[in-house]
Structure 1
Amino acid sequence: MLTVGDKFPEFDLAAVPGGPEGLKGDFVQISDKTDAGKWKLVFFWPKDFTFVCPTEIVAFGKLAGEFKDRDTVVYGVSIDSEFVHLNWRLHHEDLKGLQIPMLADIKRELSTALGVLSPAAGVANRATFLVDPEGIIRHVSVNDLSVGRNPQEVLRILDALQSDELCPCNWKQGEAFLKP
């Protein structure tokens, strides 16, 4: 699995755009070059039309504005196609207002390149990557398929990384940094 300090792999995936545009059925291509020069949060969920996944996707979507305020784009990814993503958005009440794009890794190329594909389940694990503007992975976490993430914690980690300071345990934006 790729980890902190590694270069995030190149990718070019079809996606359902976020916001109202995503409900129209017009797909877009999103690549590693899209939103160049910005921080990226790339998170994977195992499959559409499941139970834990929409809770996470909605929670990340609700924080999209806070990530944007930090010059960070949010990409959600699964092994499902863009057509399945669209159908899920259209038929799941909580996903209709989703503000982030849903990327389709149907060939499992990105999840394989990152090393987050579960061989037993054939789907991506619940992996989360924070990638800096130079394309370097600065944070990675992976949860078991049955356990959802805490998007607020990902935002806290992003704040700490962007501070370029030494941040103690449980540090939050606005608190004092450590002085060596």
Structure 2
Amino acid sequence: MIGIGEKFPEFSKTAVVSLEKGKEFETISSDSFINDDSRWTVMFWWPKDFTFVCPTEIAEFNNNYSEFRDRDTTLIGASTDSEYVHLAWRNNHDDLRGLKFPMLADTSKSLAEDLGILVADEKVAYRATFIIDPQGIIRWVSVNDLNVGRNVKEVLRVLDGLQTDELCPCNWEKGQETLTAALEA
């Protein structure tokens, strides 16, 4: 699996960005968010559309969309399902109709493979979350087993810590004191 300190892979994929007829799809590429001097990116993956745990996570990311926006962070959701399956799911699931972020379609599974997050026997993505800094460097990775949803508040907490560029102690939260390293004499 690709890890912290590595450059996020280059990609260009179709994503569902709207339910409005004729404006449903856009191409999103790594160039869309990498090398922007101020924007961070959170890309989170789920295994399959039309399942049970996945929409709870997607809806929770959407519920916290303004929190990511307030942190100058682009939010992108992704799976190995096609853009047409994403669109059908959004149209048929009450919690997904009003999504404010794109649903990336990695139908070739090439990006998931480059990230090292494909489940070997099923060829679907693990529940992986990547925080990527403005230079395109991965600063945090979290991967859950297929059956366990992630904690969006923890993603925000880690993002806050990374954005301070300071030492953050265990259980640190935005607004709390950071640590100062004592210099040895």
| TM-score (normalizing by structure 1) | 0.96
Q: Tell me the equivalent position of 2:88.
A: 87
CA distance in 2, matches of 1:33, 1:153: 27
Please tell me the residue identity of whatever aligns with 2:15: A
Q: Tell me the equivalent position of 1:32.
A: 30
CA distance in 1, matches of 2:64, 2:102: 13
Identity of aligned residues (%): 56
Q: Tell me the equivalent position of 2:150.
A: 149
CA distance in 2, matches of 1:176, 1:120: 45
* Runs (4+) off by over 4 Å: none
Q: Tell me the equivalent position of 1:106.
A: 107
CA distance in 2, matches of 1:147, 1:102: 20
Which 5+ residue runs of structure 1 have no aligned equivalent?
none
Q: Tell me the equivalent position of 1:137.
A: 138
Q: Tell me the equivalent position of 1:75.
A: 76
Please tell me the residue identity of whatever aligns with 2:175: G
| TM-score (normalizing by structure 2) | 0.93
SS at the partner of 1:110?
helix
SS at the partner of 2:41?
strand
CA distance in 2, matches of 1:12, 1:48: 20
CA distance in 2, matches of 1:33, 1:42: 14
SS at the partner of 2:67?
helix
Q: Tell me the equivalent position of 2:121.
A: 120
CA distance in 2, matches of 1:72, 1:108: 25
CA distance in 2, matches of 1:71, 1:35: 11
Please tell me the residue identity of whatever aligns with 1:10: E
SS at the partner of 1:33?
helix
Task: Report how far residue 35 of structure 1 moved.
Answer: 3.1
Alignment of 1:2-21 (within 5 A): 2-17=2-17
CA distance in 1, matches of 2:126, 2:33: 25
CA distance in 1, matches of 2:121, 2:161: 35
Q: Tell me the equivalent position of 2:66.
A: 65
Which 5+ residue runs of structure 2 have no aligned equivalent?
none
RMSD: 0.8
Question: For the pair shown, which has the larger CA radius of gyration, 1 or 2?
Answer: 2
